[in-house]
């Protein structure tokens, strides 16, 4: 039986980052990465296979990312914690000194009658499955997307580029409602509708109808939508069977329970990525956030801590971005409703200006930034941006301000750099102006 200093189960974002960081941080090469798939897809790129990219092969992560670590294509079927071994589907066993679980997640499958019919598809992170989905999407047809989160919205936007008639069905009042402020949700829906996607909200799916394959979707309202295919994108569930069978503790949102160093209840076993429980930066409570960006961060933390605690996970704030047609939106931290639920009294600052200066430059568009602050402490707790694709980096700046607990005054005085082609004018820089707007509101409130 072969034994390794570090064994990593799972070869997507969290597992790959764990292997990278273990080599960089400790100079460790005695590493084995175990994964089931011959190839690993870029998880966030899955919807773009069916429009912009055009094939699964253009959405594959190269194996060279794991560096000097060894790679084993097999399924890990069980963990013997006492003997520190992992049993594989081919009958082999491998030993470990330290073990990192990065087993990811699986698509949620709601209890909808007809979900097992042909032409009902999910966003499985499996290249062969996704290749079959690509064949099924070929040609024209009516597609119903169940779920208006990021996966659902992005699938719908990509499929409409291929000429499909697409309908999104979302149970909540708005698409993206769980992670975005209402104004961002509305902007995304408007962009979808403008480009031919029908958006149905405040309505659930009662059944998927058809003899052998999906032919129509019956809504809770009684409306029936004809279709040739159904895509289900309502979220994911942590893949924890291996951990649970090994006796590891599971948290309230379904992830493997970990401490601030990504350790499970077994000090020699760590968990990262979608399979691991997440805890809010704001109040320390579990939060159901599953993002590749969070997985890579946790992979770094776990790998740094395998021999002794060094890096601490300060909690998840959630930073999201997407683009629908020509409208990009991004959000970090708390939405207004979540802030109120936690107990914050908020002050909102807003600013809008052209994304370049002067605004007459080619491809200059209005970009709006909205920042949310805690009135009592003045600290930023959330923020969003809407405009061009640059908002993805704008929201990363906001996320950095949140984790560093910057106040509205500090952000208003933020030392920014500007350039006509790259940013708004220094006289109308959205982030600092939004903070100034909030600061003035706060001062005027105190005076009154």
CATH number at residue 367: 3.30.390.30
In a domain, 36, yes or no: yes
Q: What is the mean pLDDT of residues 197-216?
A: 96
Whether residue 273 contacts residue 240, with contact meaning beta carbons closer than 8 Å, is answered with no
Is residue 141 very low, low, confident or very high in pLDDT (cuts 50, 70, 90)?
confident
In a domain, 320, yes or no: no
Let me know whether 423 and 401 are in one domain: yes
pLDDT at 129 over 90: yes
Let me know whether 38 and 183 are in one domain: no
Let me know whether 164 and 194 are in one domain: yes
CB atoms within 10 A of CB 29: 14
Please identify, among 180, 204, 234, the residue that sits at the C-terminal boundary of a domain: 234
Let me know whether 59 and 129 are in one domain: no
Q: Please work out, in degrees rounded to the nearest 5, the angle formed at the alpha carbon of residue 254 by the alpha carbons of 263 and 15.
A: 50
Burial 410-421, CB ≥16 within 10 A → b, else e: ebbeeeeeeeee
Let me know whether 73 and 131 are in one domain: no
In a domain, 310, yes or no: no
Q: Would you say the C-alpha torsion 386, 387, 390, 392 has a positive or negative sign?
A: positive
pLDDT at 448 over 60: no
**This prediction's pTM:** 0.94
In a domain, 321, yes or no: no
Whether residue 160 contacts residue 168, with contact meaning beta carbons closer than 8 Å, is answered with no
Is residue 139 very low, low, confident or very high in pLDDT (cuts 50, 70, 90)?
confident
pLDDT at 286 over 60: yes
Burial 353-368, CB ≥16 within 10 A → b, else e: bbbbbeeeeeebeebb
In a domain, 163, yes or no: yes
* Helix locations, 181-322, DSSP H: 182-194, 241-245, 292-304
**Total number of domains in the chain:** 3
Q: What is the CA radius of gyration of the chain?
A: 23
Please identify, among 256, 272, 304, the residue that sits at the C-terminal boundary of a domain: 304
pLDDT at 81 over 90: yes
Q: What is the pLDDT of residue 418?
A: 94
In a domain, 178, yes or no: yes
In a domain, 287, yes or no: yes
Question: What is the percent of the chain where pLDDT is above 90?
Answer: 93
Q: What is the pLDDT of residue 444?
A: 72
Q: Which residues contact 196 (CB under 8 A, 6 or more apart)?
A: 160, 165, 166
Q: What is the mean pLDDT of residues 62-82?
A: 96
In a domain, 311, yes or no: no
Let me know whether 167 and 184 are in one domain: yes
* CA distances to 67, 215, 381 from 445, in Å: 56, 58, 19
* Domain residue limits at 350: 326-447
* Helix locations, 274-353, DSSP H: 292-304, 336-342
Among candidate residues 256, 266, 237, the one with its CA nearest the CA of residue 99:
266
Let me know whether 165 and 255 are in one domain: no
* Helix locations, 343-428, DSSP H: 391-403, 408-412
Q: What is the mean pLDDT of residues 326-346?
A: 93
Question: CA 202 to CA 225: how far, in whole Å?
Answer: 15
Please identify, among 187, 219, 234, the residue that sits at the C-terminal boundary of a domain: 234
Q: How many angstroms from the chain centroid is the CA of residue 391?
A: 16
Can the peptide bond before residue 340 be classed as cis, meaning omega within 30 degrees of 0? no
CATH number at residue 257: 3.50.50.60
Question: Given strand 319-324, what is the order of strands in its sheet?
Answer: 319-324, 327-333, 380-387, 366-374, 346-354
Question: What is the percent of the chain where pLDDT is above 70?
Answer: 99
Q: What is the pLDDT of residue 387?
A: 85
pLDDT at 205 over 90: yes
Let me know whether 177 and 37 are in one domain: no
Q: What is the mean pLDDT of residues 413-435?
A: 94
Is residue 447 very low, low, confident or very high in pLDDT (cuts 50, 70, 90)?
low
Secondary structure (3-state) at 5: strand
Let me know whether 24 and 121 are in one domain: no
pLDDT at 281 over 90: yes
Let me know whether 255 and 355 are in one domain: no
Q: How high is the mean pLDDT of the chain? A: 94
Let me know whether 189 and 297 are in one domain: no
Let me know whether 75 and 87 are in one domain: yes
Q: What is the mean pLDDT of residues 249-264?
A: 97
């Amino acid at each position: 039986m072969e034994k390794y200093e570090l064994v990593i189960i799972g070869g997507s974002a969290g597992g790959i980052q764990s292997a990278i960081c273990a080599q960089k941080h400790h100079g460790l090469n005695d590493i084995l990465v175990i994964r089931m798939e011959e190839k690993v897809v870029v998880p966030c790129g899955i919807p773009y296979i069916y429009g912009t990219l055009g094939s699964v092969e253009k959405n594959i992560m190269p194996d060279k990312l794991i560096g000097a670590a060894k790679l084993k294509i097999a399924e890990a079927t069980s963990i013997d914690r006492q003997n520190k071994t992992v049993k594989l589907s081919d009958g082999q066993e491998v030993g470990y000194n330290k073990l990192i679980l990065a087993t990811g997640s699986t698509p949620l499958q709601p209890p909808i009658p007809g979900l097992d019919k042909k032409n009902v598809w999910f966003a499985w992170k499996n290249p062969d499955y996704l290749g079959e989905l690509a064949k099924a999407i070929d040609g024209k047809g009516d597609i119903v997307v169940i779920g208006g989160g990021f996966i659902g919205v992005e699938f719908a936007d990509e499929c409409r580029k291929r000429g499909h008639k697409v309908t999104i069905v979302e149970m909540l009042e708005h698409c993206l409602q769980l992670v975005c402020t209402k104004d961002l949700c509305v902007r995304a829906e408007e962009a979808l509708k403008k480009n031919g996607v029908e958006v149905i909200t405040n309505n659930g799916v009662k059944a998927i109808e058809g003899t052998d394959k999906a032919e129509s979707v019956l809504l809770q309202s009684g409306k029936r939508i004809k279709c040739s295919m159904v895509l289900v994108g309502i979220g994911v569930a942590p893949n924890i069977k291996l951990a649970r069978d090994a006796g590891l503790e599971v948290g309230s949102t379904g992830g493997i329970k970990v401490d601030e160093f990504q350790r499970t209840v077994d000090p020699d076993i760590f968990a990262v990525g979608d399979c691991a429980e997440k805890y809010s930066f704001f109040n320390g409570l579990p939060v159901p956030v599953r993002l590749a960006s969070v997985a890579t961060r946790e992979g770094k933390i776990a790998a740094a801590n395998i021999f002794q605690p060094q890096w601490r996970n300060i909690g998840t704030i959630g930073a999201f971005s997407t683009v629908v047609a020509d409208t990009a939106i991004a959000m970090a931290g708390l939405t207004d409703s979540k802030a109120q639920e936690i107990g914050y009294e908020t002050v909102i600052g807003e600013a809008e200006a052209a994304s370049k200066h002067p605004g007459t430059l080619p491809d200059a568009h209005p970009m709006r930034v909205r920042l949310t602050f805690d009135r009592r402490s003045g600290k930023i707790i959330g923020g969003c941006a809407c405009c061009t694709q640059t908002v993805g980096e704008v929201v990363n700046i906001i996320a950095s301000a949140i984790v560093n607990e910057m106040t509205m005054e500090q952000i208003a005085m933020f030392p920014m750099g500007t350039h006509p082609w790259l940013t708004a004018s220094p006289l109308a820089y959205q982030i600092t102006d939004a903070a100034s707007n909030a600061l003035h509101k706060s001062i005027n409130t105190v005076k009154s």
